[in-house]
Amino acid sequence: MKIFIIALIISLSLINSAFAYKNYEWGKVEFKKGNYAKANELFKNELAENPENLKCRYIYAQSFVGINNLAKAQKEYEKVIEQSPNSELAKLSSIAISKIHGYYSGESQEPPITLGSPIGDNYIQVAAHNGKITRWNISKMPLKIYIEPSEYYTAVVAAMDSWVKISEPKTISYTLTNNYKNANIIVTFVASLDPGKAGLSTTHTIGYFLKPNFIKLKTTNAANSPYSQEKLFNLAQHELGHALGILGHSPKEADIMYFQLSNYIKNLSQRDINTLKLLYRLDPDLSNFANGETPMVNSVKNDVFIGNKDGRLDKKIQKAVDYVKKDPKNALNWTKLGNLYYYSRQYQNAITCYQKALEINSSFDAAISGLAFVYEKTGDFNKAVTQFTKLVKQKPDDLNYAHNFALYLIYYKKSNEALRILNNLIKVNPDAKNDRNIKNLMNYLKNPG
Ligand SMILES: [Zn+2]
């Protein structure tokens, strides 16, 4: 796609703040995929509309680093500092500029601010507890690990090695210690645990300081026969995954961090690998910080990958929940709550709310549109198309619905379908041809070069 930057039009205008599928959002998606050139274009567009968007300015600068245009990166970092000299982003920008200088003068061997290569499919959102990144401090490696002497000792060592082997160079390393008192991770073997549990990792924090992690591994099954070395290896891999900072569980069975393993897994899955790598690229909120070191207050990187935990949004959600409780037969209330969940990236909750709204009023536009947007986010192409189709059938003359559907189809390279949607629109609403956004799409479809 050439310069093709059109935002989805706000479709839910009846619901106050509504969906704005903006350049900035798109840009973050592209940035996350490692498409820095594309992201750069989108951020540029956002800044043309919203020059005050400081976060966008900062990540715009980062995207220049990604495409190796350091001069322009520096210029944008300078603008961030100028715009808001006391902000966290200004601080980060000056660090970035100093790194660029080091790079130019040959003091620094490494490129400034390594964004790293793109990370593929992962489950970082569940790895992070409450949107917070917990992991060990890279500058305080190697980790000290104590493993209780046992016939399973080498299985646990092998499990730890399996994580270290797939981690990025110079991130995770460890040494074994015989003294559990100064260890970061303490592995012991136990005869019993809570029913149904074969292993347990307990993460301790005090303030934002990450304290030693305790892993307990069971050595026998329910029938009291000892686990195989393979079983113990997997068990240790899983619990060590938690101890390294993957706090939640993967929803997919093929991952070692799935909540319940049934089969022996020889190698960590690509998703396990990606998640761990990403975890150690993000800025920790909880870590074994060095003296005087504190968590990054406004990490753009973390925002991009795990979403901004917005306290105000939580309050809004609480309020919307109260409204729904008071008046549960109101489709608009459910839809509003769905929108808030959507904004906070709680997509399953959002789907539930929109579906509730549609149980009350099956043709409620805003809820259908909301569902289409959620499925767009969760990558359920067919489900999104079903909802978009309903919308354009229900309101064939509506510019926004047709536009959004067409844009979505274009994004999935379904130009013919997109053209059909736009032509239908123009048939029932001839004025639509004069709309700027519709024109843009039409032009693009005629001349996609
Ligand atoms: Zn677990």
Q: What are 349-394's pLDDT values in tens digits?
A: 999 999 999 999 999 998 999 999 899 888 899 999 999 999 999 9
pLDDT of residue 102: 61
- Give distance in angstroms: CA of 380 to centre of ligand 1: 27
Give the mean model confidence (pLDDT) for residues 81-104.
77
- SS3 category, 368: helix
pLDDT at residue 53 is higher than 60: yes
Cα distances from 222 to residues 198, 218, 226, 234, 246, in angstroms, run 9, 10, 10, 17, 27
Angle CA(380)–CA(383)–CA(384) in degrees, nearest 5? 80
pLDDT digits (tens, 9 = 90+) for 154-165: 999 999 999 999
Structure tokens at 410: 């274009």
Angle CA(263)–CA(268)–CA(272) in degrees, nearest 5? 115
- Give distance in angstroms: CA of 62 to centre of ligand 1: 35
pLDDT at residue 305 is higher than 80: no
- Give distance in angstroms: CA of 8 to centre of ligand 1: 39
Query: Alpha-carbon distance 257 to 248, whole Å?
Result: 8
- Give distance in angstroms: CA of 235 to centre of ligand 1: 9
Out of 229-233, 296-300, 310-314, pick the least confident. Answer: 310-314
What percent of the chain is modeled with pLDDT above 90?
43
- Give distance in angstroms: CA of 217 to centre of ligand 1: 12
pLDDT of residue 449: 53
pLDDT at residue 9 is higher than 70: no
pLDDT at residue 442 is higher than 60: yes
Give the mean model confidence (pLDDT) for residues 397-402.
89
Delineate the domains of the chain, giving CATH numbers in brackets.
1-118 (1.25.40.10), 124-302 (3.40.390.10), 311-446 (1.25.40.10)
Give the mean model confidence (pLDDT) for residues 260-287.
90
- Give distance in angstroms: CA of 164 to centre of ligand 1: 19
Q: How far is CA 441 from the centre of its chain?
A: 29
pLDDT digits (tens, 9 = 90+) for 417-437: 999 999 999 999 999 988 877
- Give distance in angstroms: CA of 168 to centre of ligand 1: 23
The structure tokens 């100064």 sit at 182
Give the mean model confidence (pLDDT) for residues 182-204.
90
- Give distance in angstroms: CA of 294 to centre of ligand 1: 28
- Give distance in angstroms: CA of 307 to centre of ligand 1: 23
Going by the DSSP 8-state scheme, the letter that residue 222 receives in this structure is T
Out of 175-189, 218-232, 285-299, 397-411, pick the least confident. Answer: 285-299
**Burial letters for 219-234: b for 16+ Cβ neighbours within 10 Å, e otherwise?**
beeeeeeebeeebbbb
pLDDT at residue 106 is higher than 60: no
Give the mean model confidence (pLDDT) for residues 8-24.
42
- Give distance in angstroms: CA of 200 to centre of ligand 1: 7
250 or 240, which is more confident: 240
pLDDT of residue 383: 95
pLDDT of residue 51: 85
pLDDT at residue 5 is higher than 50: no
- Give distance in angstroms: CA of 162 to centre of ligand 1: 17
Read off the pTM.
Answer: 0.54
Out of 181-185, 252-256, 355-359, 433-437, pick the least confident. Answer: 433-437
- Give distance in angstroms: CA of 201 to centre of ligand 1: 7
Give the mean model confidence (pLDDT) for residues 321-329.
88
Query: Alpha-carbon distance 100 to 69, whole Å?
Result: 11
- Give distance in angstroms: CA of 181 to centre of ligand 1: 24
Hey, which residues does 190 pair with through a beta bridge?
218
pLDDT of residue 113: 39
What is the amino acid identity at position 48? Answer: A
- Give distance in angstroms: CA of 257 to centre of ligand 1: 6
pLDDT of residue 273: 96
Give residue 448's pLDDT band: very low, low, confident or very high (50, 70, 90).
low
pLDDT at residue 4 is higher than 70: no
- Give distance in angstroms: CA of 239 to centre of ligand 1: 6
- SS3 category, 130: coil
- Give distance in angstroms: CA of 268 to centre of ligand 1: 15
Strand 199-202 to 185-190 pairing: unpaired
- Give distance in angstroms: CA of 340 to centre of ligand 1: 29
pLDDT at residue 12 is higher than 50: no
Out of 5-19, 143-157, 230-244, 378-392, pick the least confident. Answer: 5-19
